[in-house]
A and B are shown apart, each in its own frame.
Chain A
Amino acid sequence: MLYSDKVIDHTDNPRNVGTLDVNDPNVGTGLVGNPACGDVMRLQIRVDAEGRIAQARFKTFGCGSAIAASSLVTEWVTGKSLDEASALKNTAIAAELNLPPVKLHCSVLAEQAIEEAIEDFLRKQASLAEKVPAK
């Protein structure tokens, strides 16, 4: 599939749209926004016992490129370890020669969301650890 086809496919059929339980201790939630274009994006990850991202879900309200970017991200992210996900860049996606432009900040919105989701998960884990009495 050409890159542009892939992105249009993700816009028309976004994968992994939805919600994970925010209260689940294994779920990290990242909520980011770009006021300039009014986009808000929520990305959630469920991490398994091995520290891999078993599930990723997102909900975006915003321009098509943000939707496509987040859909691609969740696909790419599922099955990766936290470190790998953290190193997310667009390198995985093959470059076409001529592509339509992207709004500033929209391109990084997905990355920011991932960072926040991971941080949220780690924060939750840390506060849980505090509650467990030391043995």
Chain B
Amino acid sequence: MNHAIGIDLGTTNSLVACVTEGKPRILLSAEGNTLLPSVVYYAADGRTLVGEQAEHFAHQQPERALSSVKRYLGLSAREAELRPLTGLRLAKPLSDEEAKVVRFDLGERGVTPVEASAEILRALAATARAELGVLGLTVVTVPAYFDDAQRQATRDAARLAGFESVRLLNEPTAAALAYGLSARKEGLFAVYDWGGGTFDISILRLQASVFQVKSTGGDTALGGDDIDAALAAELLTALGFNEESLTQSSIRCLLQTARSLKHQLSLQHTVQTRLLRVDGTAGTFELTRGDLEKIVQPLLERTGRAVKRAFRDASVECSDLDGVILVGGATRIPCVIQFVTNLFQQIPLQGIDPDCVVAEGAALQADLLQNRGGSGLLLDVLPLSLGIELMGGGVERLLTRNAPVPTAAHGIFTTAADNQTGYELHVLQGEREMARDCRSLAKFLLSGIPAMPAGRARLHVAFCIDENGLLTVSAREATTDITQVVEVQPSYGLTREQIDQMVAQHIRYRSEDEETRKLAEFRVHGAALLKAVSSALASDADLLTKAEEQEITASVERLKSGLTSANRSLLLELLLHELHALTESFNERKVNRTIVSRVTGQTLRGRA
């Protein structure tokens, strides 16, 4: 029996879960953790590491690692430039075709967010397979506020990762599922979901195992990462640095420091750290919970506005709510919990670990869909309005946000000029007045209008949304009955052919035989190096400082552990590299000592 699984593909961390005996549980990674850091390390030949392993080497070579790529899924190169401080180097597109998709610059090539996300998904799949065997239906979660392009990109990543049967699920709905079905509650719930990269608010009604989404809202560019960036910016100012003058690796380092400080402040009231100022001097910096609150407050205000809009759209007030669910690591921050309590006028539910709740919900949904004929049900809505561009640049909305899906709508239009022979149809997504401020989904032409004075022709446009939120647009010229039907593929850039190409490339990089050979090779090297280093430490450890010895010992342990458990040749290779680098100078000193001890007291024959 194929095992259904649920995956939370998060900005900062990802998880995979399954349902056993009716209860969801998170599957542990090889390192024994529930959370897999959403970090991917790339070697020049395309081999990768994911998770803690990647994080470790990302520290040393930040230009070879990618993190928080979820924030870039579905974006074009131009849109990506508008993101705040993330320390990721973006490739400059060389053509309009290239500019359709953002790529990260790794030096020898560019990597799309879809490829990077596929690596994370593959790692999660491996974890699941190791424990469960053959995988069945997979549910992958996305922020409720993700638009068509972002959803399509997520689907592409899953396809690239080799998943055959994938369903997308909105994260807030997954969280509500985890609380609703396991706690057997009924009523109206708000899900306040603040993760690393996005903020989502959803208002849901649960009754008789049926979830009805009343409204959704949020900000796909507002997350814990933004807190880190704001905190890092403050540190930069305090240290006297200019953002432009920093290298990418310094920025990553600073962001990591900021994140660690932020985490500590959830447990302590003050925290201290030593950092180097621009003039080279070191200084101790103290940060209090109050300082963090000042930074978080404006971001919290933004979430508050999205929440109020969601209330308006759902025609409810906070007194109507039976519960507020908190999701996402950022909701651990004390001032955030306080803010949420005030905003909703009630203490939020926190019974399930906010980091795990989405994955658990996804697993429940996967299990329901595959095994139980779906006894629980989700009635989802359109997250954003859909319309077409009108003459003059305005937008005629045919479907408004929060309309339950599947659904349909139509409109009748006409020509602007005498003897106009064709229409240019531009399908848009968004809430703004003008087409240029909305997201472009598709453009197509309908020609063949018979010559007529302006305003006489009749154009019937129909929008049809299926249960997955996929849009089909049909346009019919009424006189001739000429019709054009377009299934909207988001114009964010990766085509079917490009994905197929990536799948083929991946197969080339990952030849099984090659991998087995390399693994064996590195095991032999590793064992030899360990032997040499251990013996050198035994006899000449006095040549090292205490700090150096500690570093080398730690690296030795990592290599030892890698030799027993590593199944990726890249990991062994990098660990070997690391130990070599750390012991290079040690080796030199040892050689010197040997020479000196040999020649001391001896005369050099034949030289004056």
Contacts and interface: CB of A to CB of B under 8 A. Distances in A.
Direct A–B contact in complex, judged by CB atoms less than 8 Å apart: yes
9 contacts: A66-B392, A90-B418, A90-B454, A95-B421, A98-B421, A99-B415, A99-B420, A103-B396, A104-B414
Nearest to A91: B418
Contact of B413 (A67, A95, A101): A101
Contacts of A66: 392
A72 to B, nearest CB: 10
Interface stretch (B200-208, B337-345, B423-431, B595-603): B423-431
Interface in A1-26: 3, 7-8, 10-11
B455 A97 contact: no
Given A64-B434, A65-B394, A67-B392, A102 B422 contact: no
Given A65-B390, A65-B391, A68-B391, A104 B413 contact: yes
A101 B391 contact: yes
A83 interface: no
Looking at A89, A90, A91, A102, the one whose CB has the most chain B CB atoms below 10 A away is: A102
Given A63-B392, A94-B417, 7 more contacts: A11-B394, A93-B417, A99-B391, A100-B390, A102-B391, A102-B415, A107-B414
A100 B393 CA distance: 9
A101 B425 contact: yes
B447 A107 contact: no
Interface of B: 388-394, 396, 411-426, 433-434, 445, 447, 453-455, 459, 461
A65 B393 CA distance: 7
Interface string A65-82: 111110000000000000
Contacts of B454: 89-90, 107
Contacts of B445: 98
Interface of A: 3, 7-8, 10-11, 63-69, 89-91, 93-104, 107-108
B390 A8 contact: no
Contact of B417 (A8, A64, A90, A104): A90
A57 B465 CA distance: 43
A104 B457 CA distance: 10
A90 B420 CA distance: 11
Contacts of B418: 89-91, 95
Contacts of A67: 392
Nearest to B388: A101
Contacts of A7: 391-393, 416
Contacts of B396: 63, 103
A-B pairs with lowest CB-CB distance, top 4: A64-B394, A64-B392, A101-B413, A65-B392
B447 A98 contact: yes
A96 B413 CA distance: 17
B417 A99 contact: yes
A92 to B, nearest CB: 10
B415 A101 contact: yes
Contact of A101 (B393, B423, B433, B434): B423
B417 A3 contact: yes
A34 to B, nearest CB: 13
Contacts of B425: 100-101
B423 A90 contact: no
B37 to A, nearest CB: 47
Contacts of B447: 97-98
A65 B423 CA distance: 15
A13 B454 CA distance: 24
A11 B414 CA distance: 19
Contacts of B414: 101-104, 107
A40 B355 CA distance: 52
A98 B394 contact: no
Contacts of B420: 95-97, 99
A16 to B, nearest CB: 16
B412 to A, nearest CB: 6
Contacts of B389: 100
A69 B393 CA distance: 12
Contacts of A64: 390-394, 433-434
Given A3-B417, A64-B434, A95-B418, A102 B393 contact: no
B282 to A, nearest CB: 55
A93 B422 CA distance: 16
A100 B417 contact: no
Contact of B390 (A89, A90, A103): A103
Contacts of A68: 391-392
Contacts of A104: 412-414, 455
A67 B393 CA distance: 10
A8, A96, A99: most-surrounded residue (chain B CB, <10 A): A99
Listed residue (B389, B390, B416) with the most chain A CB atoms within 10 angstroms of its CB: B416
Contacts of B415: 99, 101-102, 107
A7 B392 CA distance: 6
A65 B396 CA distance: 11
A98 B416 contact: no
Nearest to A101: B413
A87 B328 CA distance: 65
Nearest to A94: B417
Contacts of A91: 418
Given A103-B413, A108-B455, A98 B422 contact: yes
Nearest to B459: A101
A99 B422 CA distance: 7
Contacts of B417: 3, 90, 93-96, 99
A101 B421 contact: no
A68 B223 CA distance: 41
A64 B396 CA distance: 10
A98 B413 contact: no
A103 B203 CA distance: 34
A103 B457 CA distance: 11
Contacts of A100: 388-392, 416, 423-426
A89 B459 CA distance: 20
Contacts of A8: 392-393
Contacts of A103: 390, 396, 411, 413-414
Given A98-B445, A103-B396, A63 B416 contact: no
A65 B389 CA distance: 10
A107 B416 contact: yes
B446 to A, nearest CB: 8
Contact of B423 (A93, A99, A107): A99
B386 to A, nearest CB: 15
User: Which one of B415, B454, B461 has the highest number of Cβ atoms from chain A below 10 Å of its Cβ?
Assistant: B454
A97 B390 contact: no
Nearest to B423: A101
Contacts of A11: 392-394
